[in-house]
Structure 1
Amino acid sequence: MATQVEERIWTAEGARKRATVQQMFAEIAPTYDLLNGMMSFSLHHRWRTYAVSLLKLQPGDSALDVCCGTGDFLFPLRKAVGTAGHVAGVDFCAPMLARASEKLHANILALGDACQLPIAGSSVHGVTVGWGIRNVPDIDGAHREIARVLKPGGRFVSLDMARPRNRAVRAVSEFVFNSIVPRLGALFGKTQAYTYLPKSTQRFWTREQLAASMESAGMVEVGHRDLMFGNICIHYGRKADPGGTLGETRE
């Protein structure tokens, strides 16, 4: 059954893939935070805080978390912009948003698609995505939409799984993800979703492909930083700012 679900996700196009992934996340929403903590030894909170630091946000700024899920990026974003700032989260899965609403770190939580954000253009100083771009049917479209809502000079970070470049590390990682992670999910009756996780990582775009997509969307100073021996990667970039004002004040 897990293999059938996995193939259905990867052979689906556009709206069909969106609906399949949406249903999967709705089913795992109640245990999502617990399993995330177990799989990362709760290090994902530290990774998120580091990723937010790359946005160079200031008190009073506006920030957006796309594919916000249960809202774990919202706390470091709120801490960065302070009570005078504005934090919004967007996700396409209502049960995940319901969990995020319990954490009370966002001014606004909205049901929406990463490729059609319900956000005004050039309106936010920083955008985050955590473990989300991998699940979007149109990654190029999502990057273009993120660039659209960023203010000129605003920054974007994407935190996600990656394939280690070192062959030995990659072999160990694939063993863990393909054998241990699905079993961990099975303890909570979520075998299908946690079989999808390692498979989606293996089929995910390379670092170079993601960087090229971000640049095509109009981002500059694009780069990445590997964490956890290359199993986790933060991609970052800045929306081009012809005037240079925002970028110059935040170096």
Structure 2
Amino acid sequence: MSSPLVTRAASVRGFAADGGTVVALGPEPGPVQRVAAETGGIAVVGDAAGPADVRWAVAAAREAGGLDAVVTSAGGGSRSGGVLDVDQEAFDREPRVDLTTAVVTVRETLPALLERGGGSIVVGASVAALASARGLMTYTTGRTALLGLLRSLAVDHGPQAARANVVAPGGTRTRMLQPMIDRVAERLGSDEDDAVRRLTAGTPLRRFADPEEIAAVALFLASDAASFVTGSTIVADGGRSAVDVGTLAADLIG
């Protein structure tokens, strides 16, 4: 790969280590410029949901040799409640972070990918696209929509050699997760390590993922090693989705 466009710092580092010039797109100048300087990439300060900003990033990739892969992740989410708790304004706003960002990014980058013979699109979603938790209606709905988008892309543009896949991570040690860890530690009157142990007790690997581990899955899907993989959702959740939830209570009882 010569010039992938990436919107997450861990993925930028992973792609840079694999060679080529990475175009890093993000809304905060400091983090984007730091990771670009660290990896020898190109920093583009902008919003992945803004067509003009994405076109600017595509132009930067073209100047660096051409765009051949796009890796983007959905934004954050909140425990907004169930369908009876969420007003229309909140529903219109929150899933937009997920779906509109992905649609804009894909629409503005796909022509450049096709120019070079197809390329690869990888979108980071969540295991919430496959199973919901209480009070996460808007978050789950937005992430689930991403699976349909990528399947549609795979079918529509597969004949042009474009591939489209989803990475669905479980809990990952990012800034988004830290407040939940802190709240659990406070409620339990314990420390962070104990809170993490409690939160990951139902995960076979008994831990959260590091961002670099999820980035490695995205790198694989964008690479030629995954040349026959498209329209797929790759789950990276430490085995959590393999657990029979009904047995957890029995395990606790002993």
TM-score by length of 1: 0.45
Mark the structure with the bigger radius of gyration. Answer: 2
TM-score by length of 2: 0.44
